[in-house]
Structures are given as C-alpha cells and as structure tokens.
C-alpha cells in the first residue's frame, strides 16, 4: 500500500484534532493553525488526486485495517480527491477574504471558537466526501450541522440567532429524514457499508422485492439532503443564515456546506442505490420539478431583495435549483453538469460574498442598494470581482457559469420530455439572473448623487488596505476564469470520477 493512500484518512484526522487544539490557543494562533491545516490538507488532497489519476482506479482504505462490516472504510476516487482539493481551496480563500470582518464582528474571546468550528466543518466535509459508510456519513452530517450553526451564530446579533435556530431546526429535520432513510435501508439490506448495500439493493431490485421500502428510503434520504442543501421549497432558512452571518461563514456555508450534502446525495445515488434504479424511480422527477421551481423562484425572490447579501443568498437557491435540475435529468451527463455546477457555483458564490463585503466596506457597512451607489469606484477590485461573479452567474462565455449552462442545456437537448422545460427554464432563469445581478452591477457603477447618504458614508479603499481580501478576490477571479476557459480537463476528471463510482 502506498503511503499516499493514508492521506485521506490523515487529512480527516488532522482537521478533526486541530479543532480541539484550537480551543486552547489564542485567536491569532488558532487562525494560523487553521490556515496551515487547510493548506496541508489541500496539498495532501492534491497528492491523492495525482496518485489516483496516475493509477487510474480508486482505492479503498480500511481504517485500522479492519475489513467491513467491522471496520470503517474510506473510498477514494478521482472525483473525491478533486473535491477535497477544491473545497480546501475555496475554504482557504473564503477565510482569507473575511479576515478583517472576523476580527471586527466576532468577540475577541470567541475568536478561537470560530476556528474550531471551521476545522470541524472541514473535517466533516472531508469525511462526507471520502467515507464509504452510510452511518459514518450520518455522523459527520450532524457534526457538519452543528459547526455550521456555530459559524452562523458567532456573529452575535438578533438576526443570526434566529437564523441559526431556523437553520438548526431545518437541518435537524433533514438529518432526521436522512437517518430514517438509512434505517430503512439497513433494515432491508442489513448493511451500512455503501458497497455492500448496493449489492443487496441490486439483488432486491432484480427480484422485485421490497420495492416500496427501497423507494421510501431513497425518497427520505433525497428529501433530507435536499432540505439541508436548501432546495427550493425548503430554503426558508437560507437567506437569513447567509445574509447576516459573517462573510467567511456565508461564503463557506453557501459554497461548501450545501455542496457537501449534494455530493453525498450523488454518492448515495451511485454507490448506495445504483444510478439505474434511481433513474427508474420517480424520485428524480420530483427533484427535477423542485429544481426547476427553485431556479425560477429563487431568482424571483432575489429580484425583490433590497439587501445585497440577501440577494446573493437567494441567488444560491436558484443555483442549487440548477444542480438538482441536472440530477433530475437522470442521465450521466446531467450529473456531470451538476457536479460541474457545484464547482462553478462554489467558486462564484464565495467570490460574490467576498466582493459584496468589499463593496459594503466602501459604503460604510451598508448593504442596501441605494447606499452602494458608486461603490464600484470606491473599491475597484471588489467592483471588478463582483462584476466577474455576476457575469459568471448570468452565464457569459469565458466565465465558469457559461460552461455549466452549456453542459446542462446540451444534456437537456437529448432528453425527450424534459428538454423544453429545461431549456426554457434555463433561458428564463438567465434573464432573471441578469435582471438582479446586472442591476446591482450598474448600481455600483453609478456615482452616488452628491450629499446623499451613500456619498457621505462612502470612503475609498485601496487594494493594499485589505491585502487578504484582495488576494482572495484575485484568486477567485482567476479560478473563475480557469473554470470558464479550460473546462475540458475538469469535465474529463468529473467523468472519470463518476466512472469510478460504479
């Protein structure tokens, strides 16, 4: 066994233990440790990715060398490694982009608490990505929920408490459903390890037995994870949670946490149930319909918003709609598109959150549009970054959003019944995206009228004044362009990764 194969496990453990470690450190040191951990894990993930790509096949890591069903397995393919790497990168940049906000918005005594949460969150995300065991997945889902709540709540004001409680309730409902689903599966198949369950499910599907329990289990798990990742009708917790928490939290929550669940759902589809069976069930149609509704309604809500942070949050609802719509198409290419959109949305949404915070900084901390007038001139980099993010969201060629739009629609064209609704929804949603994002872009480039609130509150911010944010923004922009311009290797990677899921 190669040494590299230990890396996934090590990265989980590393982030898990760095959490408690942070509790005894001062805020400053906790931050350094956290950064180091993320970087190290990122490097390790890159090594794993290189290794898996090199061998061309996935590997299974037995914790403590106990084989299933007693031991706990980790299963690593290209996609997993890539996801881990990508999540680390996004997390690093998000943390970097929100450095200043964290210092000002979080009480000094709780600084290190924040890093505990972030470390735990990273750990749980990695676990969700790597684990081959449903129950382990559930455990980390819960850890994820709790640390996410902490991230929301740590900026202490009334809105965040309310938001955190909402998030908690909805999330717990989601995990409860997930747990129920897992129980069903366990009782039907007698296994918790994904590969084992799949074998059993295949047999059951072939024999036609336990059709309904299986369907119920699938439905429960899908709905549970959909609630947690804020699919349209279950999104009510999201705007407050993203809109009022500190920037890093919002960026991480929107681009990583919800995506972790989606990744888990994809894994369940492929690894636990088997993609064919999922496609045969009605569940994906439900997901598809909700996805489409989310695409439209999220944008409609966003248009009505007057708060830039909440607007971006609602846009997340729409984007998650895209992802579920892709899953709902029920084809391999649809899933590829969805995974790609996971990446592109993660890169774009955190960019937008960080850029928006830059713009509000330049407008005296105000988040309403009328106060943001001219912010693009006061904080140039943030303005450019926000424009890039918006264009990507609208799906302009060159930016990442275009490629995912392209993938979605190319896939949809081949579909018999879902083609027209998908295409039309895509077009309408593009228009709606354009309406609110470009409206914002135009607003920030419209000089504030003299002697108004916006004019007086505003101050110019140079790039060097907020080095962390500037670096983060530049990296995000580059990332976005990379995804937009050289998407081919990434798409290949996703395809190969999904192949390995079988």
Partner 1 sequence: MCVFIEICALVNSMLVFLLLRNPPAETLTVFRFTGNLSVTFRIDGMGSLFAGMAAFLWPLALLYSFEYMKHEQNEKSFFLFYVITYGITLGIALAENILTMYFFFEMLSMVTLPLIMHSRTREAILASRSYLYYMLGGAAFAFIGMIFILTYGTTSSFVMGGVLDPGKIGDKTNLLLFIYVLCFCGFSVKTAMFPFSSWLPKAGVAPTPVTALLHAVAVVNTGAFAAMRVTYFSFGTELLRGTWAQNVVMTLVIITIVYGCSRALKETHIKRRLAWSTVGNLSYILFGVVLMTPLGLAGGMAHMLFHSFMKICSFFCAGAVIYQTGRNYVHELNGFGWKMPKVFVCFTVTAFALTGVPGLCGFVSKWNLCKAAVASENPLAYAGVAALMISALLTAIYMLTIVVRAFFPGRDFDCETISDVRDPNWLMILPLVVFVIVMFCFGLHSGPVIRFLQGN
- Which positions touch partner 1 (CB under 8 A)? 391, 394-398, 403, 405-406, 409-410, 412-414, 419-420, 423-424, 426-428, 430-431, 434-435, 438-439, 442-443, 445-447, 485, 487-488, 491
Q: Is 135 helix (H, G, I), strand (E, B) or coil?
A: helix
Quote the least distance from Cβ 335 to partner 1, whole Å. Answer: 16
Q: How far is 406 from 397, CA to CA, in rounded Å?
A: 9
Question: How far apart are the C-alpha atoms of 270 and 264, rounded to whole Å?
Answer: 10
Q: Do 348 and 312 contact (CB within 8 A), yes or no?
A: no
Q: Look-up: residue for tokens 């939290």?
A: 249
60 vs 442, which CB is nearer to partner 1? 442
- Report the residue number, 76 or 477, with the smaller CB distance to partner 1: 477
Nearer to partner 1, 271 or 405 (CB): 405
Residue nearer to partner 1 on the CB measure, 130 or 436: 436
> Considering the complex, what minimum distance in angstroms separates the CB of residue 299 from partner 1?
12
- Cα(51)–Cα(63) distance, rounded to whole angstroms? 19
Hey, what are 228's tokens?
Answer: 């947690």
Span between the terminal Cα atoms of the chain, in Å: 22
Tokens of 180: 């129920």
Token representation of residue 369: 């549009």
Helix, strand, coil percentages in the chain from 3-state DSSP, rounded to 5: 80, 5, 15
Residue placing its CB nearer to partner 1 in the complex, 204 or 438? 438
Give the nearest distance from C-beta 433 to partner 1 in angstroms.
Answer: 8
Smallest distance, partner 1 to C-beta of residue 227, A: 30
For the CB of residue 439, give the shortest distance to partner 1 in the complex, in Å.
6
CA 206 to chain CA centroid, nearest Å: 35
Residue 55: CB minimum distance to partner 1, A: 25
Beta carbon nearer to partner 1, 269 or 369: 369
Residue 340 φ/ψ, nearest 5 degrees: -65, -40
**CB within 8 Å of 327: residues ≥ 6 apart:** 265, 266, 269, 284, 287, 288, 291, 334, 335, 338
Closest to partner 1 by CB, 123 vs 444, is 444
> Token pair 């990744």 is at which residue?
263
CB of 407 to partner 1, least distance (A): 8
């Amino acid at each position: 066994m190669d040494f590299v194969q230990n890396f996934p496990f090590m990265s989980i453990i590393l982030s898990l233990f760095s959490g408690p470690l942070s509790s005894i450190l001062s805020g400053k040191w906790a931050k350094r440790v956290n950064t180091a951990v993320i970087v190290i894990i990122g490097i390790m993930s890159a090594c794993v990715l290189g290794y898996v790509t090199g061998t061309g096949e996935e590997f299974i890591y037995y914790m403590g060398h106990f084989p299933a069903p007693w031991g706990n397995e980790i299963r690593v393919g290209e996609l997993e490694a890539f996801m881990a790497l990508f999540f680390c990168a996004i997390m690093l940049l998000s943390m970097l982009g929100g450095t200043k906000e964290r210092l000002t918005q979080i009480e000094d005594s709780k600084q290190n608490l924040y890093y505990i949460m972030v470390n735990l969150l990273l750990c749980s995300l990695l676990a969700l990505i790597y684990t081959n065991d449903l129950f382990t997945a559930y455990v980390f889902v819960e850890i994820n929920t709790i640390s996410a709540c902490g991230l929301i709540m740590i900026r202490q004001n009334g809105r965040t408490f309310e938001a955190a409680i909402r998030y908690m309730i909805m999330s717990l409902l989601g995990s409860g459903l997930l747990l129920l689903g897992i129980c069903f599966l366990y009782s039907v198949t007698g296994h918790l390890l994904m590969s084992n369950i799949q074998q059993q499910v295949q047999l059951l599907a072939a024999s036609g037995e336990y059709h309904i329990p299986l369907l119920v289990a699938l439905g429960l798990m899908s709905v549970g994870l959909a609630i947690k990742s804020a699919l349209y009708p279950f999104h009510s917790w999201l705007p407050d949670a993203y809109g009022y928490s500190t920037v890093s939290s919002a960026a991480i929550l929107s681009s990583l946490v919800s995506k972790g669940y989606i990744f888990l759902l994809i894994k369940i589809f492929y690894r636990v149930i088997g993609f064919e069976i999922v496609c045969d069930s009605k569940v994906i149609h439900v997901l598809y319909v909700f996805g489409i509704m989310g695409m439209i309604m999220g944008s409609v809500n966003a248009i009505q918003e007057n708060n830039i942070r909440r607007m971006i949050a609602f846009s997340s609802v729409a984007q998650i709609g895209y992802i579920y719509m892709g899953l709902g198409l029920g084809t391999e290419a649809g899933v590829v598109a969805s995974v790609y959109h996971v990446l592109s949305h993660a890169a774009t949404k955190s960019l937008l959150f960080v850029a928006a915070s830059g713009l509000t900084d330049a407008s005296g901390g105000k988040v309403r549009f009328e106060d943001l007038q001219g912010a693009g001139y006061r904080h140039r980099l943030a303005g450019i970054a926000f424009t890039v993010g918006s264009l990507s969201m609208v799906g302009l060629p060159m930016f990442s959003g275009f490629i995912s739009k392209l993938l979605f629609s190319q896939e949809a064209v081949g579909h018999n019944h879902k083609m027209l609704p998908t295409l039309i929804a895509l077009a309408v949603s593009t228009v709606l995206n354009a309406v609110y994002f470009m409206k914002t872009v135009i607003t920030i480039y419209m000089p504030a009228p003299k002697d108004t609130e916006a004019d007086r509150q505003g101050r110019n911010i140079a790039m060097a004044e907020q080095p962390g944010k500037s670096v983060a923004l530049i990296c995000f922009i580059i990332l976005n362009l990379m995804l937009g311009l050289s998407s081919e290797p990434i798409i290949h990677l996703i395809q190969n990764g999904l192949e390995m899921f079988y």
